[in-house]
Amino acid sequence: MVQRAAAVLLSRRTPWYVRLILLAGLIYVVSPYDLIPEWIPVFGVMDDLALAAILITWAAGFAEKG
């Protein structure tokens, strides 16, 4: 997942606004501030992983189209 995110961020075919949204989302994932705190079993980590997977998949679609 990290390699895919890096490939999308570094691709010249990825629009700048997609890079910005992807980068902001990934910063949120590693940030200590969450909508669902990490200390809540299962859901605390799952919201971060789900957001990262959704953002990377969405951004990869833009990178592959060009």
- Give tens-digit pLDDT for 53-63: 999 888 888 87
- Give tens-digit pLDDT for 15-56: 899 999 988 988 888 888 888 888 888 888 898 889 889 998
Domain boundaries of the chain, sorted by first residue: 2-65
3-state secondary structure 8-49: HHHCCCCCHHHHHHHHHHHHHHHCCCCCCCCCCCCHHHHHHH
Q: In this predicted structure, what is the pLDDT of residue 64?
A: 66
Cβ atoms of residues 25 and 57 within 8 Å: no
pTM, entire model: 0.74
